[in-house]
A and B are shown apart, each in its own frame.
Chain A
Amino acid sequence: KNEVEQSPQNLTAQEGEFITINCSYSVGISALHWLQQHPGGGIVSLFMLSSGKKKHGRLIATINIQEKHSSLHITASHPRDSAVYICAVEEDSNYQLIWGAGTKLIIKP
């Protein structure tokens, strides 16, 4: 079974800083998802990746299949980016999403 590890667990930064959140997993996957969970609990999908890199606004997600590693970057961070960012993977063998524990990001003005 896949183990999904995220780092750091908690991250506090100043507005404007470049943010990197990392995710590693242990076995082959068909896709990796980055999701955002707001303080009220709601979950929003940010990216789904199976290779390479995707960009949406100030968010960039990359994945290295060989190294079983993905990163989520936020450029020009803003206090409204404060949330929990979660990595989740789909294994080759089934359709279940296996979730990481999340990275709690706080951006201070």
Chain B
Amino acid sequence: EPEVTQTPSHQVTQMGQEVILRCVPISNHLYFYWYRQILGQKVEFLVSFYNNEISEKSEIFDDQFSVERPDGSNFTLKIRSTKLEDSAMYFCASSRTGVPRETQYFGPGTRLLVL
């Protein structure tokens, strides 16, 4: 069964460093999402992406964050200058369509620790 994959599974970085989290969505899916979950807290929506542009973004998704689909298979989340509070689990998801809404399929997550 097709699945969403994410790399790396864990990343440790120093505050102020740039990180790139990678996701490979399911191949025939057109809508892509990033979510984060700070330890012990709710999952939060970051951004949705369709047709090579951002569809929606939350207040969390500020200028420090960017997303890209560089090559037709990967979907990346870049954090330019990491802060301690960026430590969280980051989940990528994809869906075949966005309207009407369909089930989102989630990757296993990347656990980011900023020191």
Question: What number of B residues sit within 8 Å (CB to CB) of A?
Answer: 25
Which of A17-25, A70-78, A93-101 participates in binding chain B? A93-101
User: Contact check: which of A42, A48, A99 meets B101 at CB < 8 Å?
Assistant: A48
Residues of A within 8 A of B93 (CB): 43
Interface size class of A (residues with CB under 8 A): 20 to 34
Q: How far is the CA of A13 from the CA of B104 in the complex (A)?
A: 29
Inter-subunit contact B56/A45 (CB<8 Å): no
Known contacts A41-B89, A41-B109; decide if A98 and B103 are in contact (CB<8 Å): no
Residues of A within 8 A of B22 (CB): none
Residues of A within 8 A of B106 (CB): 35, 42-45
Residues of B within 8 A of A (CB): 33, 35, 37, 42-45, 48, 55-56, 58, 89, 91, 93, 98-99, 101-106, 108-109, 111
